[in-house]
Structure 1
Amino acid sequence: MSSHSAVSAGSEASRFPTSVYADRLARAAQIAQRSGLDGLLVTPGPDLRYLVGSRADSFERLTCLVVPADGNPPSVVLPRLELASLSDSAVGELNLPVHDWVDGVDPYELVSSLLPETPRVAVTDAMPALHLVPLARRFGAVPALATDVLRELRMIKDDAEIEALRRAGAAIDRVHARMGEWLRPGRTEADVAADITAAILAEGHTEAAFVIVGSGPHGADPHHEVSDRVIESGDIVVIDIGGPVEPGYNSDSTRTYVLGEPDPQVADQVAVLEAAQRAAVDAVRPGVTAESVDAAARDVLADAGLADVFVHRTGHGIGLSVHEEPYIVAGNTVVLTPGMAFSVEPGIYFRGRWGARIEDIVVVTADGCESVNKRPHGLTVLPG
């Protein structure tokens, strides 16, 4: 095992300025101390990327960021053969000590040496049991989850994160704007999905994290992805798409299309859905609860007799993960605060017939919210 004071820095194109990560680490330590913890242990995943910009993967060999709560500098423990995985992170510019180890060395003892004896630690929820169990044995107790500590940080987006979400929203809007090029009778859902995937990449995403093309009866399944079903004239089609843009912040937007003029009853029901989505967005402001936003959408649908066909929560937080806190759902009494970002996406689903969903990502502001998606919300009519 050896210790290094720095790792060579990589390009900042894929991460925020180093000062952003320094601030996050300091706040994480402060919240950990306030929570009665001696430190946080963060293995690869969204939390590690949030704190130091690292995209390291998790393998059978332990990689772990150790964040002491007493103000001492955080350290990174990782296999020597994985040192290169830190090159694009902020670890080098932050001058964090790096403790690398080779096979035959006990990395759990190394982690333990960086904390007080019998420490009270919390671990990220992405830590594999492969590492959690040996650490629990080393500390003599199962560590707590760091979810509450890191949620407090990650739920409130800073200006740089919000700008990244705006870029992601604009990029996915550009893909939705082109749907008429691909969505037409005679093509399969898979054909359309392939074109959408290419466009998501062309519009600046690093990957297409998900592409849902739910045509006709498939639109009534909220978790349908794609199939070889041939799209027909008259179909209602749900398109739910998104993915990350650098430095890793996700888009997620759903619009509903119809090929040809819609049945009047369908048009009326989608208009109610549009009103429900608008009511929920209008309800977003500091000081209200997450569940009140869910209720705003649900009440509009209930008044129209559509309560039973709205079968999921109204929204989910978004950032480095597509789904994260806060969740916009009944029972969640989290109070909205400026900087929180989440989806507002009520849907209606008629099993075996058709479905519709309308989704924007919104960011809570000082007096309401900002939607990062600007495309029209109603039922978009395409040639049938």
Structure 2
Amino acid sequence: MPQQTYSHTRKIGPKGDTPLKPDGTPDDNDRVEIGPTKLAFDEWAEAGLEIPNLPRMREQRLMRLAKALRDRDYGGILLFDPLNVRFASDTTNMQLWAAHNPFRACFVSADGYMVIWDFKNEDLLTAYNPLVRETRGGASFFYFVKGDKTEHYAKIFAGEIDELMHAHAPGNRRLAIDKIQIHGLRALEALGLQVFEGEEVTEKTRAVKQDEEIRALKCAVHACEMSMYEMQNMARPGLTENDVWAVLQAENIRRGGEWIETRILASGPRSNPWFQECGPRVIGNNELLAFDTDMIGCFGMCSDISRTWFLGDGSPTDEQKKLYTHAFTHIQENMKLLGPGVPFKEIVHGGHFLAPEYVSSRYSVKMHGVGLCDEWPHIAYPEDYDEGAFEYTCEHGMVLCVEAYVGAEGGKEGVKLEEQVLITENGFENMTNYPFEEILLD
């Protein structure tokens, strides 16, 4: 079967006379590698935060992923999800475009050999990471770019994967895949490869963070909170929801963040029911403004924080205080459930319960994992618990978002609050430091 041309990635590293940034990457104004800006580094230094060492973080991630493959007796894993590719290689290329146009792929063998298929068979955006052993082209076999020859190109790509499996996992035909177009799946199976669920591998591997990732998350959260301060400083009645949201987007980019997954910000009556996205509504006087950052920030790390603010020249109503205080109590009490070894099921059925009038409008999840985005696990409310779906326990190094949405069905407004929490050896550490609204606490 004909092969796509490829290049062995150039093993380029920092030049001898090139200084390094605090994260261990070259301080080169013309580099192609994305990363935090001077503004972010300066803010982290002022806050006394430890900066992650990215070369070390990359090696730790690859080692964890390869070990997960060996633990399951898989010869390799094939990744198309851009966040899984980011986890394995810490390389990016048009992340949002790649999410719906799968032109990019990554193969990792159980012995840690990594290959990236990138745009136009160029290693421009992968060469800085020597853990990427080869950069190739030819992973695009979706209809937009290959039309009626999609099946043909899928077979060519499958042949490359087959050869990599023979070379790096001889005798092992067990291949995990996270996501793949249907022609690709059929082509791989036709070559005798046994295909297994790759998302189970990546979600569980990503769930437990090591020290460098925890440092990266703390830096990303701080950058998000600094962006939130800028956002709150300008938020006021008379502006549109979009005016306020645009500040968060801009400040994220200014610090070297990457994108925001949603645009969930709502004011006044649009805050109930939840999940309405921001629009041209003009914020009224003495209203609540609620939002969820869902920010993919510095180092590609997710900062998932929710706050609700009171905007106006008056005083909050008793109802606004009641909603806010209930939401605040909910997350503070539920956070106390966390610690290593605690079963997810215990969290589902324990802690603070929503008042009956708020249950029908509850948030979609009581807690969830977070890392490069919202991740495994999904810890449901008792009403949504699915026996057997998440029968696991908390582990040291997991990071969970503790959620609350409080709003009565048919009510005038609602409150959204959320904290990002690290499971430690002996309990938990709240990574979030953004203040709550004292004026709304009853």
TM-score, normalised via structure 1 length: 0.85
Structure 1 residue 203: deviation in Å?
A: 4.5
Structure 1 residue 362: deviation in Å?
A: 0.8
User: Structure 1 pair 148/283, CA: closer, same or farther in 2 (3 Å)?
Assistant: same
User: Structure 1 pair 77/48, CA: closer, same or farther in 2 (3 Å)?
Assistant: closer
Cα distance in 1 between the residues matched to 2:121 and 2:436: 47
1:244 counterpart residue number = 296
Cα distance in 1 between the residues matched to 2:371 and 2:268: 31
1:373 lines up with 2:432 in the alignment: yes
State the superposition RMSD in angstroms: 3.0
**Equivalent position to 1:133, from 186, 207, 212:** 186
**Equivalent position to 2:123, from 80, 84, 92:** 84
1:109 counterpart residue number = 159
3-state secondary structure, aligned to 1:362? strand
2:78 counterpart residue number = 41
1:254 counterpart residue number = 306
Matches within 5 A, 1:261-340: 261-296=315-350, 299-302=352-355, 306-321=358-373, 323-329=374-380, 330-331=385-386, 332-340=390-398
3-state secondary structure, aligned to 2:238? coil
Matches within 5 A, 1:161-172: 161-172=213-224
User: Structure 1 pair 376/292, CA: closer, same or farther in 2 (3 Å)?
Assistant: farther
3-state secondary structure, aligned to 1:367? coil
1:26 counterpart residue number = 63
User: Structure 1 pair 64/188, CA: closer, same or farther in 2 (3 Å)?
Assistant: closer
3-state secondary structure, aligned to 2:165? coil
3-state secondary structure, aligned to 1:370? strand
Structure 1 residue 359: deviation in Å?
A: 0.6
Deviation larger for 335-344 or 57-66: 57-66
Contact 2:56 2:212 in 1 (8 A): no
2:259 counterpart residue number = 207
Contact 1:41 1:122 in 2 (8 A): yes
Instruction: Describe the superposition over 1:260-313 as per-residue Cα deviations: whole angstroms up to 9, x where unpaired.
Output: 31211331232122111101111111111234334445x4323x7533332421
Instruction: Describe the superposition over 1:24-71 as per-residue Cα deviations: whole angstroms up to 9, x where unpaired.
Output: 3333233223213222112351111111112145597864433333x3
The residue identity in structure 2 corresponding to 1:112 is D
1:6 lines up with 2:9 in the alignment: yes
Deviation larger for 189-198 or 203-212: 203-212
Instruction: Give the % identical residues.
Output: 22
Instruction: Describe the superposition over 1:179-209 as per-residue Cα deviations: whole angstroms up to 9, x where unpaired.
Output: 4433222222122222332233335423344
Cα distance in 1 between the residues matched to 2:104 and 2:232: 46
1:68 lines up with 2:109 in the alignment: yes
Deviation larger for 311-320 or 272-281: 311-320
User: Structure 1 pair 27/195, CA: closer, same or farther in 2 (3 Å)?
Assistant: closer
2:92 counterpart residue number = 55
Cα distance in 1 between the residues matched to 2:279 and 2:290: 13
TM-score, normalised via structure 2 length: 0.75
Instruction: Describe the superposition over 1:187-241 as per-residue Cα deviations: whole angstroms up to 9, x where unpaired.
Output: 2212222233223333542334434321112111321111222211221221222
User: Structure 1 pair 77/357, CA: closer, same or farther in 2 (3 Å)?
Assistant: closer
Contact 1:185 1:230 in 2 (8 A): yes
Cα distance in 1 between the residues matched to 2:237 and 2:139: 59
Cα distance in 1 between the residues matched to 2:216 and 2:439: 27
The residue identity in structure 1 corresponding to 2:202 is L
Deviation larger for 271-280 or 94-103: 94-103
Deviation larger for 150-159 or 21-30: 21-30
User: Structure 1 pair 380/192, CA: closer, same or farther in 2 (3 Å)?
Assistant: farther
User: Structure 1 pair 31/185, CA: closer, same or farther in 2 (3 Å)?
Assistant: closer
The residue identity in structure 1 corresponding to 2:185 is L
The residue identity in structure 1 corresponding to 2:412 is R
User: Structure 1 pair 284/217, CA: closer, same or farther in 2 (3 Å)?
Assistant: same
1:353 counterpart residue number = 412
1:175 lines up with 2:175 in the alignment: no
Contact 2:6 2:121 in 1 (8 A): no
2:241 counterpart residue number = 189
User: Structure 1 pair 234/250, CA: closer, same or farther in 2 (3 Å)?
Assistant: same
Cα distance in 2 between the residues matched to 1:201 and 1:122: 35
1:158 lines up with 2:161 in the alignment: no
User: Structure 1 pair 129/191, CA: closer, same or farther in 2 (3 Å)?
Assistant: same
Contact 1:358 1:377 in 2 (8 A): no
1:217 counterpart residue number = 269
**Equivalent position to 1:343, from 386, 397, 401:** 401
Cα distance in 1 between the residues matched to 2:317 and 2:275: 24
Contact 2:419 2:432 in 1 (8 A): yes
Q: Give unmatched runs, 5+ long, in structure 1.
A: none
3-state secondary structure, aligned to 1:239? strand
Count of equivalent residues: 372
User: Structure 1 pair 61/159, CA: closer, same or farther in 2 (3 Å)?
Assistant: closer
Cα distance in 2 between the residues matched to 1:156 and 1:360: 18
The residue identity in structure 1 corresponding to 2:379 is I
Cα distance in 2 between the residues matched to 1:44 and 1:305: 39
Cα distance in 1 between the residues matched to 2:232 and 2:343: 38
Q: Give unmatched runs, 5+ long, in structure 2.
A: 15-24, 26-32, 36-52, 141-151
Contact 2:86 2:92 in 1 (8 A): yes
3-state secondary structure, aligned to 2:160? helix
Contact 2:252 2:297 in 1 (8 A): no
Cα distance in 1 between the residues matched to 2:344 and 2:404: 14
